[in-house]
Structure 1
């Protein structure tokens, strides 16, 4: 997975001036020149008592490259997110496909709603690699044959599987990102456990690491209060 922060306007001070306008009016902009560390208690209070709107006055744009099945889950997050994705209607898609490595747990155990993943055997990993590779090669060959025959890209792309990589820009604010992280990461500090698919969790972890550098006090308050979006 590729996750790059390409543009941002996001800092802990954004939370503070947005929150203090309720009592200080335009003087709340003085927060821009002050050390946010002195007001980390306010950030924690806002997070704890779920006063969420001050966490919306910021913006982060990420470039994400991941398999299509990751994007299909990602796009379920609609509030506070904007997306623009690579289009198979307008360009020829590249033959980049997802094949899990040995770090990806392959076997699901337990009933729906209460299950876990465990390591697969070497034989299962070899089967997955072989089956996926053969399927991808066959599908992409058929895709090229149709393009060479003059079939429109938007028709030919139908043979390509969800393991194909795509790319997009995803823009969000800290509040919408926290909601995403609460659902798409599995974390020991989470008040409500989540069981995300590993591939989207990898994207979420990379986003979180980059956000934490921009807004360390907000990130710390998020963790302190059970990783629940305010």
Structure 2
């Protein structure tokens, strides 16, 4: 993750500042402020600002003032109760603002989570950097034969070399043409808002992304899942670590009930009850489709 000297100087200057405040702060999150956490080959995530902590969640749930009258152990129990019963508004009391650098095709997946405030680097006004995401060989996979949205085995040998060469060469050639089109050296130069259409989806963009904790956890539940695309999952994994330091009680409950838990349909629960009674249940007698049965088997092991 190459940071320019100017970017590193800005981060160092921000981290050197200290501000007095009466509002609650989270010591774990204070350690993350402004620091750029590397993701992929040129990307990063850094926390710009945040509001709230575990106590803010409990305060909102109890509609109390100050720290209330409950103990810390009761706070964790309350948060677990709220998570277990799918309460949402107390978790909306916490917010986080991130600066994210990511490939455009990852951004197009990410932006589907519409419950956030986003401001993206504008290629209408500014020139994008010559930075592209090129997968490492172990993340260059064939199409999955069982999942139309997933990957199969890694490519190898001459095929892998050829694909990597195409990705690099095509990205560089597209950027060469982009620079040539917007240049005003001896020509009028094409408008940046038009020239950007020629850039590939693996070029890097940047944005500020502000979201409340409830919707952040929903994002993490989907994107930190093993079935999510690798390139967005690594961003979610980095965010999981940050969130765990920010709201440790809430994150432990989330890890237990969401990441480590499972939701079963009525048919799946019926099959499980029949199995516990000693009945042999198959996909044909379950009432579930092959896909549902495969997922059910994955849950019960």
TM range (shorter): 0.7 to 0.9
Sort the Cα spacing of 1:19 and 1:99 in 2 relative to 1 into closer, same or farther, 3 A: same
Q: Give 2:62's aligned residue.
A: 20
Note the aligned Cα RMSD (angstroms): 1.9
> Take 2:88 and 2:191, find their aligned partners in 1: how far apart are those partners?
46
Could you tell me which of 184, 198, 206 is aligned with 1:167?
Answer: 206
The 5-angstrom pairing of residues 86-97 of structure 1 reads 86-97=121-132
Mapped contact 1:14–1:32 kept (Cα < 8 A): no
The 5-angstrom pairing of residues 1-230 of structure 1 reads 1-21=43-63, 28-31=64-67, 36-79=72-115, 81-112=116-147, 116-148=151-183, 149=187, 150-186=189-225, 195-227=227-259
Deviation, 1:74, is 0.6
**Structure showing greater relative contact order (alpha-carbon pairs closer than 8 Å, 6 or more residues apart):** 1
Matched residue count: 214
Mapped contact 2:141–2:151 kept (Cα < 8 A): no
Deviation, 1:113, is 5.3
Q: What whole-Å deviation, never above 9, does each CA across 1:14-63 have from its counterpart, x for those lacking one?
A: 10000001xxxxxx122279764441100000000111110000110111
TM-score by length of 2: 0.67
Q: What whole-Å deviation, never above 9, does each CA across 1:179-223 have from its counterpart, x for those lacking one?
A: 101111225xxxxxxx21110111111111111100010000011
Mapped contact 2:140–2:154 kept (Cα < 8 A): yes
Mapped contact 1:13–1:32 kept (Cα < 8 A): no
Sort the Cα spacing of 1:153 and 1:56 in 2 relative to 1 into closer, same or farther, 3 A: same
> Take 1:127 and 1:199, find their aligned partners in 2: how far apart are those partners?
21
Where does structure 2 lack aligned partners over 5 or more consecutive residues? 1-42, 262-301
- Greater shift in the superposed pair: 69-78 or 113-122: 113-122
Sort the Cα spacing of 1:115 and 1:197 in 2 relative to 1 into closer, same or farther, 3 A: closer
> Take 2:110 and 2:177, find their aligned partners in 1: how far apart are those partners?
28
Q: For the pair shown, which has the larger CA radius of gyration, 1 or 2?
A: 2
Where does structure 1 lack aligned partners over 5 or more consecutive residues? 22-27, 188-194
What secondary structure does 1:168 align onto? Answer: strand
Deviation, 1:120, is 2.1
